[in-house]
């Protein structure tokens, strides 16, 4: 059997202490062997991202997770800063820029609006994945394999029980990626959200 | 009364007229006072006559006050750290000078008692002259300044055994000792005197701690400014009187009292209360020295006096130079050290008079030696100038960097940094790391040499001197950074820059909030407080250690700095609306009170709700930001 894949979670929340949902999500994956959580706002409060350190982290892992809330239809500023600084030309993309080639990457996002509002004509106008297109295209540019996002909708109204369920889903997804690797891509590729894939289960205990 | 007013008028006028002229000519205030004294003295205008001597004795108290102030700035622990320097350099200087001078005086026909008394006396230097000059030049903190201070302190301590020694010599030369010598303890046996000396020192130390501090606290509560000033004077005079009573040097007593009070909360109040008295008295003292120079005596014996002055200064500076070499001073520092202490000090007036009284020295020679003392003191500022303008530039660290060395820094620099101490050096290093070469002005020769070796373009000398500023390129530079350690010199510097080079952008270091207020009043715009960012950064780290998220704590810190900077000009203007404060420290407290009140009004911490899910939750349904 191959050595299990390793996971790097890039987490960005400028006010994590006030975020109930992300707290629950992180609680389920922290301390799991093979998973590294990189808390960007804690690491770089002055936005002075250490490119060398981040690139070394990326090289040492096979599955990359962009975990963040959706603010104004995008990721918090530091996540963008991280992408702009770390994914250098000549390293992540461009000529000879293939250090991330073949790694799996996906978003884990929390959004206040329900899934029903993210439709044409709905309050949020477009499907949520439309707002993640920059991530998807960036992954493509860096020759990474982009997987569907894991999305927690309606965070304001979610009960504690529901949040726990999402936490278990999150952990389950990461564990299967560590075990199965790229073979998973074909199974989930067609779904809009990772949590739509029946193979992941319902997260019920 | 009328006579007193008349004298005061003449002395004060002399000070007010001559000191600014001397300052303008770059000669320093001491020389100004001395020249003023000479001109109003009996041999020129004759405004003052014989009473000059009395005034000199009265004004000597300025020296006593000066030592109190020096003591206030020296914490006991710091003094203890200097003990080796004090004893080492002090003993070499005193021993060496006495020995050589003794040989010299014997050679010109003095009896051995007279030669020894004179030798001991001329080995003393002038605390007043040296400390005043060094402080004015901002040299007290460099090696030369520290060594000079150590020597002066040792000399002050040695006055005690010297005063004890003189009567013994009078006895052995079979002359009748002056009756009832200077102190009422004169008749006691040696061991009892020693015990009383120790008792007096202990009384100052214990009294300072357990009586004076509670007493000052009581006085401070009365809140009458003049009462506190009176109390401060009382302490100084009391310590001096106690010491005189037991036969110790009053300067030493007040110095000790100052050291004891250096740790108390009244330190700054005492400083600001005594300072003006000290300044005026010292000025008077220098004028009186100038006025007391007996030109008749000099004119009658021009070669004797000139020879003695030259001989004394040569011997003293030679021994000082050796002393400096032994304590490994570099050439420049050693030159400053040797020149600064080469005069005969004010103690000589006392010691020569005492020796005459004991019959050790003849009346004529006493007059002659006092003349030599006064002339040598007058020569000091001139020697300083000579050293500064002729000797150091030629043989020491050059004022202006070598062409050869300046070559590799192409063209004029856009940035000038004045003062490369803790503060300025960080700026210089940071700029250099970013390929901005700055021209540096500094007055510590050791530092200048090091920096030049490291390839910096450094101008050596007093940054407030116009010629140095010009040769450093102040008229072509873009930015001038005033980061000198002494707030007074720094303030003087920015005033000068503003007047002479109005196009330069001046960025100035302020030690604290009150310095910043003063700089705002002086019209400065770019003011950087040493204490602000660092303390806020510490506060941010406290929040983090208490469990705050780093980003939240960092934002709180940034906001606080922004808020505090914005409040600065507002509060600075507001300061003038207030009634005059009773005490300096009262002003500090009032300033803090005002700040804290303002903090309560508008919480400078996190006052936004950015990214806070809890805050947007109640509004859910109408908007959907997350």
Chain B residues touching residue A20 (CB < 8 angstroms): 613
The shortest C-alpha distance from B429 to chain A (Å) reads 21
The shortest C-alpha distance from B606 to chain A (Å) reads 12
In a domain, A195, yes or no: yes
- Domain covering B403-530: architecture: 3-Layer(aba) Sandwich (3.40)
Q: Does B533 touch chain A (CB under 8 A)?
A: no
Tell me, what's the pLDDT at B51?
59
Chain A residues touching residue B610 (CB < 8 angstroms): 14-15
pLDDT in tens, A18-37: 899 999 999 999 999 999 99
- Site from A14, A15, A38 to mutate, B interface, most B CB atoms within 10 angstroms: A15
Of all residues in chain B, the one with the smallest CA distance to A71 is B626
- Nearest neighbour of A15 by CB, restricted to B552, B553, B617: B552
B223: left (phi over 0), alpha (psi -120 to 50) or beta: left
**Are A41 and B549 an interchain contact pair (Cβ–Cβ within 8 Å)?**
yes
Q: Is the pLDDT of residue A49 over 70?
A: yes
Mean pLDDT estimate for chain B: 80
Q: Which residue has the tokens 């949520």?
A: A128
The shortest C-alpha distance from B528 to chain A (Å) reads 21
Q: Does B626 touch chain A (CB under 8 A)?
A: yes
In a domain, A205, yes or no: no
pLDDT in tens, A127-170: 999 999 999 999 999 999 999 999 999 998 889 999 999 999 99
d(CA B152, CA B156): 6
pLDDT band, residue B625 (cuts 50/70/90) = very low
- B145-166: b (≥16 Cβ within 10 Å) or e: bbbbbbbbbbbbbbbbebbbeb
| CA B481 to chain CA mean position, Å | 24
Which whole-number Å values give the CA distances from A140 to A10, A104, B78, B134, B480, in the listed order?
A: 18, 11, 67, 71, 52
pTM reported for the whole predicted model: 0.62
- Per-residue DSSP letter, A17: G
- Is there a contact between A105 and A132 (Cβ–Cβ < 8 Å)? no
Q: Is the pLDDT of residue B592 over 80?
A: no
Of all residues in chain B, the one with the smallest CA distance to A77 is B611
pLDDT in tens, B363-400: 888 888 888 888 888 888 888 888 887 887 777 776 67
- Nearest neighbour of B549 by CB, restricted to A42, A111, A123: A42
Q: Does B559 touch chain A (CB under 8 A)?
A: no
- Is there a contact between B349 and B373 (Cβ–Cβ < 8 Å)? yes
- Nearest neighbour of A72 by CB, restricted to B548, B549, B625: B625
Q: How many structural domains compose chain A?
A: 1
Q: How much helix, strand and coil, in percent to the nearest 5, is found in chain A? A: 40, 15, 40
Mean pLDDT estimate for chain A: 93
d(CA B379, CA B382): 5
Of all residues in chain B, the one with the smallest CA distance to A122 is B624
Secondary structure element (H or E) that encloses residue B510, with its range: strand B505-510
Beta bridge partners of B528: B509
Crossing angle of the two packed helices B363-386 and B112-122, in degrees rounded to 10: 30
ipTM for this prediction: 0.84
Spell out the domain ranges in chain B. Answer: 2-176+266-392, 403-530, 550-607
- A151-171: b (≥16 Cβ within 10 Å) or e: bbbbbbebeeebbbbbbbbbb
pLDDT band, residue A10 (cuts 50/70/90) = very high
Q: Two tokens at A185?
A: 């891509």
**Alpha-carbon dihedral B238, B243, B249, B251, rounded to 10 degrees:** -20
Of all residues in chain A, the one with the smallest CA distance to B549 is A42
Fold classification of B2-176+266-392 is Na+/H+ antiporter like fold (1.20.1530)
- Site from B533, B561, B626 to mutate, A interface, most A CB atoms within 10 angstroms: B626
Of all residues in chain B, the one with the smallest CA distance to A114 is B624
Domain range enclosing A86: 7-200
Contact residues, chain A to chain B, C-beta under 8 Å: 13-21, 41-43, 45-46, 69-72, 76, 110-113, 117, 123-124, 155-157
* End-to-end Cα, chain A, rounded Å: 29
List Cβ neighbours of A45 (8 Å cut-off, separation of 6 or more). B550, B551, B553, B554, B555
| CA B624 to chain CA mean position, Å | 67
DSSP letters spanning B298-312: HHHSHHHHHHHHHHH
CATH code for the domain in which residue A118 is found: 3.40.50.360
Of all residues in chain B, the one with the smallest CA distance to A19 is B613
Secondary structure element (H or E) that encloses residue B130, with its range: helix B127-136
Chain B residues touching residue A156 (CB < 8 angstroms): 613, 616-617, 620, 626
Tell me, what's the pLDDT at B620?
47
Residue B212 CB: number of other CB atoms within 10 A?
A: 23
**Are B620 and A112 an interchain contact pair (Cβ–Cβ within 8 Å)?**
yes
pLDDT in tens, B237-286: 888 888 888 777 787 788 888 888 887 778 777 888 888 888 888 888 88
Tell me, what's the pLDDT at B205?
82
**Are B552 and A42 an interchain contact pair (Cβ–Cβ within 8 Å)?**
no
Determine whether A23 is exposed, middle or buried from the number of CB atoms within 10 Å of its CB (0-12, 13-18, 19+). Answer: middle
CB pairs A-B closer than 8 Å:
62
Of all residues in chain B, the one with the smallest CA distance to A123 is B624
In a domain, A2, yes or no: no
Q: Does B551 touch chain A (CB under 8 A)?
A: yes
B284: left (phi over 0), alpha (psi -120 to 50) or beta: alpha
- Nearest neighbour of B626 by CB, restricted to A16, A17, A70: A70
């Amino acid at each position: 059997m191959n050595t299990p894949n390793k996971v790097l979670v890039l987490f960005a929340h400028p006010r994590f202490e006030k975020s109930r949902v992300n707290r629950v999500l992180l609680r389920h994956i922290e301390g799991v062997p093979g998973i590294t959580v990189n808390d960007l706002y804690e690491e770089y409060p002055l936005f002075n991202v250490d490119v060398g350190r981040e690139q070394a982290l990326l090289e040492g892992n096979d599955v990359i997770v962009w975990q963040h809330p959706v603010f104004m239809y995008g990721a918090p500023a530091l996540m963008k800063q991280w992408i702009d600084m770390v994914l250098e030309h000549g390293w992540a993309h461009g000529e000879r820029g293939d250090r991330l080639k073949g790694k799996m990457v996906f978003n884990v996002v929390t959004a206040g609006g329900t899934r029903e509002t993210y439709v044409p004509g709905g309050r949020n106008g477009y499907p949520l994945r439309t707002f993640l297109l920059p991530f998807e295209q960036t992954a493509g540019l860096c020759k990474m394999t982009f997987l569907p996002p894991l999305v927690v909708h309606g965070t304001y109204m979610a009960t504690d029980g529901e949040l726990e369920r999402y936490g278990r889903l999150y952990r389950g997804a990461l564990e299967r990626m560590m075990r199965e690797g790229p073979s998973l891509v074909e199974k989930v590729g067609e779904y809009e959200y990772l949590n739509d894939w029946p193979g992941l289960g319902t997260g019920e205990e | 009364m009328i006579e007193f007013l008349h004298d005061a008028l003449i002395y004060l006028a002399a000070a007010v007229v001559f000191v600014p002229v001397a300052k303008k000519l770059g000669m320093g205030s001491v020389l100004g006072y001395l020249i003023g004294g000479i001109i109003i003295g009996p041999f020129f205008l004759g405004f003052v006559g014989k009473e000059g001597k009395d005034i000199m004795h009265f004004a000597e108290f300025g020296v006593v006050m000066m030592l109190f102030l020096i003591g206030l700035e020296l914490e006991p622990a710091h003094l203890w750290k200097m003990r080796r320097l004090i004893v080492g350099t002090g003993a070499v200087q005193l021993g060496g000078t006495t020995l050589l001078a003794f040989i010299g005086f014997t050679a010109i026909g003095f009896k051995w008692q007279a030669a020894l008394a004179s030798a001991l006396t001329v080995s003393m230097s002038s605390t007043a002259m040296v400390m005043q000059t060094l402080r004015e030049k901002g040299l007290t903190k460099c090696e030369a300044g520290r060594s000079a201070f150590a020597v002066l302190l040792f000399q002050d301590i040695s006055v005690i055994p010297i005063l004890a020694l003189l009567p013994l010599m009078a006895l052995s030369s079979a002359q009748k000792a002056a009756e009832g010598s200077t102190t009422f303890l004169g008749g006691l046996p040696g061991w009892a005197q020693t015990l009383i000396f120790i008792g007096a020192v202990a009384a100052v130390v214990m009294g300072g701690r357990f009586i004076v501090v509670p007493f000052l606290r009581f006085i401070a509560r009365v809140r009458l400014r003049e009462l506190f000033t009176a109390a401060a004077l009382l302490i100084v005079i009391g310590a001096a009187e106690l010491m005189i009573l037991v036969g110790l040097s009053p300067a030493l007593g007040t110095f000790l009292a100052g050291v004891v009070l250096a740790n108390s909360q009244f330190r700054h109040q005492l400083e600001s209360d005594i300072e003006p008295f000290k300044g005026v008295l010292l000025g008077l003292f220098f004028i009186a020295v100038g006025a007391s120079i007996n030109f008749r005596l000099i004119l009658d014996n021009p070669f004797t006096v000139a020879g003695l002055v030259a001989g004394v200064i040569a011997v003293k500076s030679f021994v000082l130079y050796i002393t400096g070499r032994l304590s490994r001073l570099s050439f420049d520092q050693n030159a400053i050290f040797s020149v600064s202490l080469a005069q005969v000090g004010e103690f000589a007036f006392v010691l020569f008079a005492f020796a005459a009284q004991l019959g050790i020295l003849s009346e004529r020679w006493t007059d002659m030696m006092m003349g030599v003392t006064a002339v040598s003191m007058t020569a000091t500022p001139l020697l300083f100038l000579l050293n500064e303008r002729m000797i150091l530039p030629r043989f020491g660290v050059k004022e202006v960097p070598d062409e050869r060395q300046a070559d590799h820094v192409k063209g004029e620099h856009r940035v000038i940094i004045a003062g490369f101490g803790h503060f300025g050096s960080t700026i210089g290093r940071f700029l250099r790391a970013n390929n901005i070469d700055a021209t540096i002005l500094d007055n510590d020769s050791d530092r200048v040499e090091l920096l030049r070796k490291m390839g910096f373009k450094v101008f050596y000398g007093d940054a407030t001197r116009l010629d140095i500023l010009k040769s450093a390129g102040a008229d072509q530079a873009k930015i001038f950074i005033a980061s000198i350690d002494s707030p007074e010199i720094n303030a003087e510097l920015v005033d000068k820059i503003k007047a002479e080079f109005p196009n330069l952008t001046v960025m100035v270091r302020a030690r604290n909030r009150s310095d910043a207020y003063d700089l705002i009043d002086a019209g400065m715009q770019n003011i950087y407080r040493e204490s602000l960012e660092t303390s806020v950064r510490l506060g941010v780290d406290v929040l983090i250690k208490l469990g705050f998220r780093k980003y939240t704590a960092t934002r709180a810190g940034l906001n606080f700095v922004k808020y505090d900077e914005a409040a600065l000009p507002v509060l600075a203007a507001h300061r003038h609306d207030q009634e005059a404060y009773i005490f300096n420290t009262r002003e500090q407290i009032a300033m803090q009170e005002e700040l804290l009140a303002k903090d309560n009004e508008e919480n400078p911490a996190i006052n936004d709700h950015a990214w806070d899910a809890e805050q947007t939750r109640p509004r859910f349904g109408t908007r959907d930001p997350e």
